[in-house]
Copies of this chain bind each other. A is one copy, B any other.
């Protein structure tokens, strides 16, 4: 699970302590700039100004803007994966019912977002906008594909166990991911919202959406 990037933790190629600190500092400020000026507004100049350093220094620590953004995405993603896995390990014994797995998945993801809204916001912005020279999304497609496959596995397991009704796992996966990402926007736009209440609503929503109705609990079609 969670395997788009094979990286483990800090992939920060900086040798010295100073270097690593700057590296982190630049990433943190990049998050801020992207989060409140958007992908298009996050120029190297603006980021440098925001950090309080010269633009050249960014180039000293990162090969180019692409690498900076990639590092940002990788960093937040890795932390998110750790966060979710920690919860998973704590709450999910082997062979849990799929509905439990789904609940933990949702709570984990929404929990991480609630705790790091700006970071996740920046990542979403980048994933949704960063393109190569030919105009193809750099992360976009593969990213979604991976996350959807992951969820689909949970759904299929639940359907085979008769726990979930029959539905297209792909469509349900899209719905779940879309709602999760939507939460990022919501919490950004309304920072004072009740994240736990939102989470509870979403969990219930998808519980109803997936669970087999008593009469449908039969075997195959």
> Which residues of A approach B to under 8 Å, CB–CB?
36-41, 128-129, 131, 135, 137, 141, 144, 165, 167-168, 171-172, 174-175, 177-179, 181-182, 185-186, 189, 197-198, 201-202, 204-206, 208-211, 213
Check if A41 sits within 8 Å of B135, measured CB to CB.
Answer: yes
Chain B residues whose CB sits within 8 angstroms of the CB of A144 once the complex forms = 185, 189
Closest-CB distance, A26 to chain B (whole angstroms)? 20
Q: Decide yes or no: A171 and B40 within 8 Å by CB, A129-B129, A141-B189, A179-B179 being known contacts.
A: no
Check if A178 sits within 8 Å of B167, measured CB to CB.
Answer: no
**Selected A-B contacts with CB under 8 Å, 28 pairs:** A36-B135, A37-B135, A38-B131, A38-B135, A38-B137, A40-B40, A40-B129, A40-B131, A41-B131, A41-B135, A128-B128, A129-B129, A141-B189, A167-B201, A167-B204, A167-B205, A168-B201, A174-B186, A175-B175, A175-B178, A175-B202, A175-B205, A178-B179, A178-B181, A178-B182, A179-B179, A206-B209, A208-B213
